[in-house]
Amino acid sequence: MMKSQISNAMLLAIIINIVYAKAIGVTQGIIARQAGGDMWIVTIFSTLFGLLIMSLTVLIIKRTPEKNILEQTKLLVGKWGEKLIALLMFTFFLGAYGGIMITVVYHLMDYFLPEVPTYIFVALVTIVGVYGIMKGVEVIARLAVLGVFSIIVLNILLLLGSLDYFEIESFLPVLRNGFFNAVEVTKHHNADWAMATLMVAIILPMVKQKEKWMKYSTKALILGGGFILMWPILEVGVLSPEVAGQYIVACMQMARSAEIGLFVHRYELIMVIFFAISALIQVMMCLLCASISAKHIIGGNNLNFLLIPVAVILGVFGYWVVNDHIRAMDLLTYYWPRVAMPITFAVPIIVFLLGFIFKKKLTKGNLDAPS
């Protein structure tokens, strides 16, 4: 599976999709509660942080283009260093899966199918994720391209349906809660961008034309940040941050407030239709990256053998998280950033510094790599 080749345009699409669904949903509601009217500024700051970490991650992988970050760690410090970083990565994607399940399940259960048991949502979504991985990364990448189209359509529809209610006065005063509060609150959105950067650290060797990696990853961060930024801007200008902060899934309330003409009211169903692909890409890539991390922990070669056990572990954790709304939001708001942020910054920085210390091993590894 690691020998699969996808284009840089497909990589761009995957990066945008793996962040979008959760970032516009539950993340913006949390940011609204902690940053108020500055939520759009927080989104800009976190996108800049994401650009910084993504650039560092791409530079790391370009040192050994045939190896992902775990394989490069093994080259630098041996198998125990590899296993430690892989354990950190697995822990991250396990926690991230809980956040993804909150996004997917609460969209569907709270707004459309409240009578359906929680475990059915979690099981079905996880099964679809496993099925997508079995079809291959190329298939997921093509689906991600369709997902970007859906994101664009959704954003355009929401923009057209909301402009009549937009009030610029809601943005004043700017930085009402202070600059440092806005920077501190970026931790919630940084955890979303971390899914993209740590995913890239694993799948980048699958991407053709390494000379374009930096260009397309940077473009993906800018475009993805722009697609996400529209939502907090509209939520401040149309709903007000106080209203947005009252909902677990703030984007669904935003969709409810939008309308076009006399016939298209309450965008919830339209939103879920166009939003679903992005959510499924998040599920598939999180499962894939967790499985690859588990493979490096155990030391096996057969990824397919690990896929089902990893899916069960992530699915059980996801069910435990979403089965209680209060537990889900407490975990996502207070505990997840404390786990995600150290891993997000530590993994790339540690491997980057190891590359400086053991430069000769990198050189030897590149010479030994097949051309």
**By C-alpha distance, which of 27, 26, 341 is closest to 189?**
27
DSSP letter assigned to residue 198? H
- Cα atoms in the Cβ-side hemisphere of radius 13 Å centred on 31: 36
Query: Phi then psi for 266, rounded to 5 degrees?
Result: 55, 95
Q: State the pLDDT confidence band at 263, using cuts at 50, 70 and 90.
A: very low
Count helices and strands in the chain by DSSP H and E runs: 16, 2
pLDDT of residue 368: 61
- Whether 62 shows a pLDDT value over 50: the answer reads yes
- Token pair of 223 as six digits: 């475009």
Q: Evaluate whether 43 touches 338 at the Cβ level (below 8 Å).
A: no
Token pair listed for 280: 């499924």
> Residue 262 pLDDT more than 70?
no
pLDDT of residue 164: 79
Express as a percent the part of the chain with pLDDT over 70. Answer: 93
| pLDDT score, position 366 | 65
Instruction: Label residue 266 by pLDDT band (50, 70, 90).
Output: low
- The confidence score (pLDDT) of residue 53 equals 94
* pLDDT tens per residue across span 113-128: 888 899 999 999 999 9
Percentage with pLDDT > 90 across the chain: 61
**What is the mean pLDDT of the segment spanning 19-40?**
89
Say what the pLDDT of residue 20 is: 92
- Spell out where the chain has E strands: 259-260, 264-265
Span 311-369, pLDDT tens digits? 999 999 999 999 998 999 999 999 999 999 999 999 999 999 999 888 888 777 665 66
Report CA Rg, the chain: 20
**pLDDT above 80: residue 370:** no
What pLDDT was estimated at residue 75?
A: 93
Distance CA 176, CA 164 (A): 25
Q: What's the confidence (pLDDT) of residue 109? A: 83
SS3 readout for 308-357: HHHHHHHHHHHHHHHCCHHHHHHHHHHHHHHHHHHHHHHHHHHHHHHHHH
**What is the pLDDT, as a whole number, of residue 371?**
47
Please tell me the least confidently modeled range out of 200-204, 269-273, 314-318: 269-273
Q: What is the pLDDT of residue 1?
A: 44
Q: What is the C-alpha separation between 202 and 238, in angstroms, rounded? A: 39
Cβ distance 133 to 291 under 8 Å?
yes
pLDDT exceeds cutoff 90 at 269: no
Looking at residue 6, the DSSP 8-state letter turns out to be B
CB count within 10 Å of CB 100 equals 30
Q: Measured between alpha carbons, how far is 161 from 125 in angstroms, rounded to an integer? A: 30
